[in-house]
Chains A and B, each alone.
Chain A
């Protein structure tokens, strides 16, 4: 890493830290920053905290899991978007380009339709995302074309549309009083139902996938060249593309299974990260993870405090993301730098 890397990652880290502290403090039950730091410090030191039990309960049982999940999901979507944008050499790509989100959506609405438990719904969403991407990949590889990347993207779009039709059918058949609102809520994305037990199934896949992508950071730089050029530089693009898609899909599916469909983060945050840290994946991936985590923390804090009812995350990210992306298009994105 060069000298300029340190400030950009520091800025991204401070953004995440600010998001974390804000998310802990703000809420229906406001907690002072001092109390938050005191409770966390006491836990780390292994002694009892000198605060009302309600404060401790809010921090560990209610707000804590949600805050951590927001940071993880935001980081995951941003990292996956960064990986896919590099792999497909297209800055307009988002993590659902290969059908991960639509596969997960179909899995989840089917789970709700058959009145399964929360864990089964999440598992179905996770598996649905993986199956969708594997299908897209199998079809895309079976077509022997000169530009394998373009074929993959087109297959992803088509399969995504088919899965979207499946989601529409299940919603149409669903019980409009109980199931349909649950499906709609899930499809718009929310962290309201996250509890302590949700963190491990989220943390495991997200960490694993992100570590794989960080390990491959230099090869990912080369993979953003045209396929033949990357191969001539000695990179086995076929197997590596599978590894990168698998890692990014693992990360996406785990976060969609936990939080539902949250668009825009995977599209917008990689651009901000690239503006801040440059296109080298060694800096870009950590920067995207930190910024994505911080961004979703801000959005989620707004979602639970902005109105009398919870605002769906997907709607807030679209409201913030659209104007931001247009601004990006007109100013800094001319060189995608």
Chain B
């Protein structure tokens, strides 16, 4: 299945954020969206999720216009992992994960035993079963991010879209979340995520999409598109490339 935007103009009622954007994501593939602050990453993400209508252009999901999907139908195909945030009410982690099952029930239904089994599997996969009875408001930022990932998985979608999944996470949890994103691609999901760190894109993504000031600067396999010159053009700042002795691994350092 393919999620694709054609010739998109994106933005809000009062301003245009980006123009002429083409982007496509297939199931089983991990795509990283890179670019400076205010370049339109989040807007593009929300447009592809169907949360903001494109000002021009078409979004297709599985060969049909995204607008032709009812919200429940769409939520069974695309899941959204927002930046982890503090919640207002202290729902348990299990309830938060169960909310991912909402689109599989009707207007008046509550999660069933089958829904609980799906949620349990999702929590087991991310190793957060021990948190199931804990209030979502009382766990750490890294644990919240894993709970939101489990919620997305419980949605049983084809595509998972993540907005800066590593923002506000400590070093160890960043690596953890990147490994999980890699694994989601390997288990057949189409994954799209935004990040501020090209190294995360290098390690977790198959392809990268470079977005600067609302325009596509480049797109391609991470090994080809993520080079020093491209990143310097993308962020408008000098970038150093460090490579280890046998030339197998490399990392970018800004400034």
> Which has the most chain A C-beta neighbours within 10 Å: B71, B74, B95?
B71
- The reply to whether A234 and B137 form a contact with Cβ atoms under 8 Å apart is no
- The reply to whether B137 and A337 form a contact with Cβ atoms under 8 Å apart is yes
Q: Does A232 contact B (CB under 8 A)?
A: yes
Residues of B within 8 A of A219 (CB): 102, 107
Q: Does B91 contact A (CB under 8 A)?
A: yes
- The reply to whether B51 and A89 form a contact with Cβ atoms under 8 Å apart is no
- Of the candidates A218, A274, A278, A336, the one whose C-beta lies within 8 Å of that of B102 is A218
Distance between B26 CB and nearest chain A CB, rounded to angstroms: 20
Q: Does B108 contact A (CB under 8 A)?
A: yes
Interchain residue pairs with CB less than 8 A apart (23): A90-B88, A91-B88, A144-B13, A216-B107, A217-B110, A218-B108, A225-B87, A225-B99, A228-B46, A228-B51, A232-B49, A232-B51, A232-B82, A233-B75, A233-B103, A234-B73, A234-B75, A278-B92, A335-B137, A336-B88, A336-B89, A336-B137, A337-B90
Interface of A is mostly: loop
Distance between B55 CB and nearest chain A CB, rounded to angstroms: 13
Interface size of B by CB at 8 A reads 37
- Of the candidates A90, A229, A278, A335, the one whose C-beta lies within 8 Å of that of B82 is A229
Q: Does A279 contact B (CB under 8 A)?
A: yes
Nearest CB to that of B51 among chain A residues? A228
Q: With A219-B102, A226-B85 known to touch, is A231 a contact of B51 (CB < 8 Å)? A: yes
Distance between A8 CB and nearest chain B CB, rounded to angstroms: 14
Q: Does A120 contact B (CB under 8 A)?
A: no
CA A336 to CA B89, docked complex, whole Å: 6
Q: Does B138 contact A (CB under 8 A)?
A: yes
In the complex, besides A218-B108, A234-B72, A234-B76, 11 extra interface pairs with C-beta distance below 8 angstroms are A91-B88, A216-B108, A218-B105, A218-B109, A221-B91, A232-B51, A274-B89, A279-B91, A280-B95, A335-B90, A337-B137
Distance between A142 CB and nearest chain B CB, rounded to angstroms: 13
CA A280 to CA B135, docked complex, whole Å: 12
Chain A 130-148 residues near chain B, CB threshold 8 A: 144, 146
- The reply to whether B109 and A232 form a contact with Cβ atoms under 8 Å apart is no
- Of the candidates B80, B85, B87, the one whose C-beta lies within 8 Å of that of A232 is B80
Nearest CB to that of A282 among chain B residues? B110
Distance between A94 CB and nearest chain B CB, rounded to angstroms: 16
Chain B 122-138 residues near chain A, CB threshold 8 A: 135, 137-138
Interface residues in chain B, defined as those with a beta carbon under 8 Å from any beta carbon in chain A: 12-13, 46, 49, 51, 71-76, 78-80, 82, 85, 87-92, 95, 99-100, 102-103, 105, 107-111, 135, 137-138, 155
Q: Does A224 contact B (CB under 8 A)?
A: yes
Chain A 261-287 residues near chain B, CB threshold 8 A: 274, 278-280, 282
Distance between A122 CB and nearest chain B CB, rounded to angstroms: 32
Q: Does A128 contact B (CB under 8 A)?
A: no
CA A89 to CA B88, docked complex, whole Å: 6
Distance between A132 CB and nearest chain B CB, rounded to angstroms: 26
Distance between B99 CB and nearest chain A CB, rounded to angstroms: 5
Distance between B114 CB and nearest chain A CB, rounded to angstroms: 15
Distance between A336 CB and nearest chain B CB, rounded to angstroms: 6
The 5 A-B pairs at the shortest CB distance, nearest first, are namely A234-B75, A234-B103, A337-B90, A232-B80, A279-B89
Interface size of A by CB at 8 A reads 32
Residues of B within 8 A of A274 (CB): 89
- Of the candidates A144, A221, A234, A337, the one whose C-beta lies within 8 Å of that of B95 is A221
Q: With A226-B85, A232-B49, A279-B91 known to touch, is A215 a contact of B108 (CB < 8 Å)? A: yes
Q: Does A236 contact B (CB under 8 A)?
A: yes
CA A229 to CA B155, docked complex, whole Å: 13
- The reply to whether A234 and B102 form a contact with Cβ atoms under 8 Å apart is yes
Distance between B138 CB and nearest chain A CB, rounded to angstroms: 6
Distance between A275 CB and nearest chain B CB, rounded to angstroms: 10
- The reply to whether A218 and B103 form a contact with Cβ atoms under 8 Å apart is no
Q: Does A180 contact B (CB under 8 A)?
A: no
Residues of B within 8 A of A250 (CB): none
- Of the candidates B12, B75, B99, B138, the one whose C-beta lies within 8 Å of that of A146 is B12
Distance between B204 CB and nearest chain A CB, rounded to angstroms: 21
Q: Does A318 contact B (CB under 8 A)?
A: no
- Of the candidates A217, A229, A232, A279, the one whose C-beta lies within 8 Å of that of B90 is A279
Residues of B within 8 A of A222 (CB): 99, 102
Q: Does A235 contact B (CB under 8 A)?
A: yes
Distance between B64 CB and nearest chain A CB, rounded to angstroms: 17
Nearest CB to that of A243 among chain B residues? B107
Nearest CB to that of A224 among chain B residues? B89
Distance between A151 CB and nearest chain B CB, rounded to angstroms: 13
Distance between B225 CB and nearest chain A CB, rounded to angstroms: 28
CA A232 to CA B102, docked complex, whole Å: 10
Distance between A40 CB and nearest chain B CB, rounded to angstroms: 35
- The reply to whether B82 and A218 form a contact with Cβ atoms under 8 Å apart is no
Distance between B119 CB and nearest chain A CB, rounded to angstroms: 13
Distance between A187 CB and nearest chain B CB, rounded to angstroms: 32
Distance between B193 CB and nearest chain A CB, rounded to angstroms: 15
